[in-house]
Amino acid sequence: MGFIRSRSAVAPLRRGIPVQASAVATRRTSVVQAVAMHQPEDPMHCIRPGVLKDTARSFVAAFDQAVAGDVLYAVKCNPEPAVLRALWDGGVRHFDVASPGEIRLIRQMFPDAELHYMHPVKGRQAIRAAYQQYGVRDFVLDSMEELQKILEETGDAQDLGLVVRLALPKGNAVYDLSGKFGAAFDDAVELLRAVRMVAPKVGLSFHVGSQMLDPAAYERALELAGRVIAESGVVIDVLDVGGGFPVSYPGVTPPPLGDFMAAVARGVARLDLPAHCRVWCEPGRALVAPGVSLVVQVIKRRGNELFINDGVYGALSDAGVPGFRFPARMIRPFAAMADAPLEAFSFYGPTCDSADKMNGPFHLPADIRAGDWIELGQLGAYGSCLRTAFNGFDQARVVEVFDRPLLETPGYDLETCAA
């Protein structure tokens, strides 16, 4: 029989990298200084703990002011331990976990954290381990089958929090999330009645989609949730408005954070919920996108195409088929930077796959050449966590820096990001 072993990919930047390759620089290091110091030939992830802390603090305060609710960080968005520590320092105490690996990571780092298993479809062993080993009590579901599974694997526990995931109509978010999860209206009504009979804490949740630019989408979703609650006749203990809160990208400036909080507050107020009902949200991108940037090196220039050392199989997955553009600047620490005009460039990643292409456009100085470095911002969300080892390009360096983000989103107070 062959040798079988398990491996964890929850923190991919830490796995299989020599200690010196992921050494953390001092908190007073800038991105330019880090490039000059390391001259990285592998991708370098620049974590801004101050930005992450301030972003979390601003979001938690805004949500608390709007609805006196709880902010659950969606761990899948970026499980890097340095990122998680910064969010904890910013006041995040609740975590949206979706796998045994995420549960294990958060429980090891923050024993007192509140964990909420927000994946609507879970394996039996995962449910059992979450409940018995890690003290998880809150579970999301969207079917009677899942409810039965949770009850069986927890031994018909009497201390469960069961939250029904409601399906929403297809919306206009950048990433539509309406297809995979969620119970239809009538099914959600039936599920709410069923969970009320077996659990002391019951709730209703939904998700408007990732990078939602329309605050009114939350009011529409809350109106639908209110109709489900009214039809069911169930008094709920939790209402989860999900994630989707947006951030800025080149050419995309969302409404201020306060507009989204006001929309949630208006929608919640119309439902006349019981005083004890807690309102949750599950931000990911909104908390971490500006807190990490990526430094890549130009390997070759061919006209306005740049071959770089990271790509769609690495931290730039969103720049591939989804077509995300990221703020970019050239770094040339050992030579004078001429005042060259900006031009539009596309990127090719380091793998042998021709699909490893990022059309951008990414606007960079016209004189950029092989050997130069490029910093790409807004990559704290779904950057490092989507890296693969395809073609052997799986090495990366991690540094901590104090710079402000390359692009800021309206409504966030980043007072101490350089501290």
Q: Which CATH class is domain 50-288?
A: alpha beta
Report whether 236 contacts 202 (CB < 8 A): yes
Q: What is the pLDDT of residues 178-205, one digit of tens each?
A: 778 999 999 999 999 999 999 999 999 9
pLDDT band at 309 (very low <50, low <70, confident <90, very high): very high
The secondary structure element, H or E, covering residue 387 is: none
- Residue 411 CA to residue 195 CA, distance in Å, equals 38
Tell me which residue of 305, 288, 307, 297 sits closest to 383, measured CA to CA. 288
Q: What is the pLDDT of residues 60-97, one digit of tens each?
A: 999 999 999 999 999 999 999 999 999 999 999 999 99
* Residue 116: strand pairing partners: 96, 138
Tokens of 129: 């381990």
Residues 91-116 have a mean pLDDT of 97
- Residue 371 CA to residue 348 CA, distance in Å, equals 15
- Report the percentage of the chain scoring pLDDT > 70: 91
- pLDDT attached to residue 322: 86
The amino acid sitting at 295 is V
DSSP letter string, 200-239: SEEEEE----BS---THHHHHHHHHHHHHHHHHT---SEE
Report phi then psi at 368, rounded to 5.
-60, 145
- pLDDT attached to residue 24: 42
Break the chain into its structural domains and give their ranges: 19-49+289-400, 50-288
Greater pLDDT, 410 or 82: 82
pLDDT band at 14 (very low <50, low <70, confident <90, very high): very low
- pLDDT attached to residue 13: 54
- Residue 327 CA to residue 307 CA, distance in Å, equals 18
Report whether 211 contacts 171 (CB < 8 A): no
Residue 235 has pLDDT above 90, yes or no: yes
Range list of β-strands (E), 349-404: 357-365, 373-376, 397-400
Helix (H, G, I), strand (E, B) or coil at 144: helix
Residues 127-152 have a mean pLDDT of 98
Give me the count of residues in the chain: 419
Report whether 139 contacts 128 (CB < 8 A): no
Residues 169-181 have a mean pLDDT of 74
Residue 23 has pLDDT above 50, yes or no: no
The amino acid sitting at 213 is L
- Please, what is the angle between helix 81-89 and helix 100-109, to 10°? 60
Residue 347 has pLDDT above 90, yes or no: yes
- Residue 164 CA to residue 142 CA, distance in Å, equals 6
- Please, what is the angle between helix 144-153 and helix 124-132, to 10°? 50
Report phi then psi at 225, rounded to 5.
-60, -40
Q: What is the pLDDT of residues 275-288, one digit of tens each?
A: 999 999 999 999 99
The CATH architecture one would assign to domain 19-49+289-400 is Beta Barrel (2.40)
pLDDT band at 413 (very low <50, low <70, confident <90, very high): confident
- Residue 207 CA to residue 203 CA, distance in Å, equals 14
Residue 40 has pLDDT above 90, yes or no: yes
Residue 114 class from Cβ within 10 Å (0-12 exposed, 13-18 middle, 19+ buried)? middle
Greater pLDDT, 155 or 409: 155
pLDDT band at 173 (very low <50, low <70, confident <90, very high): low
Q: Which of 20-29, 140-149, 304-313 has the lowest mean pLDDT?
A: 20-29
Residue 416 has pLDDT above 60, yes or no: no
The residue whose two tokens read 């009979």 is: 197
Q: What predicted TM-score, i.e. pTM, was given to this entire model? A: 0.91
Greater pLDDT, 4 or 102: 102
CA distances from 187 to 139, 147, 206, 234 (A): 17, 12, 14, 14
Q: Which of 60-64, 252-256, 318-322, 326-330 has the lowest mean pLDDT?
A: 318-322
CA 307 to chain centre: 27
Tokens of 332: 């040339």
Judge whether 19-49+289-400 and 50-288 match in fold. Answer: no
Residues 315-322 have a mean pLDDT of 91
- pLDDT attached to residue 28: 67
Residues 111-115 have a mean pLDDT of 97
Q: What is the pLDDT of residues 213-234, one digit of tens each?
A: 999 999 999 999 999 999 999 9
The secondary structure element, H or E, covering residue 44 is: strand 44-47
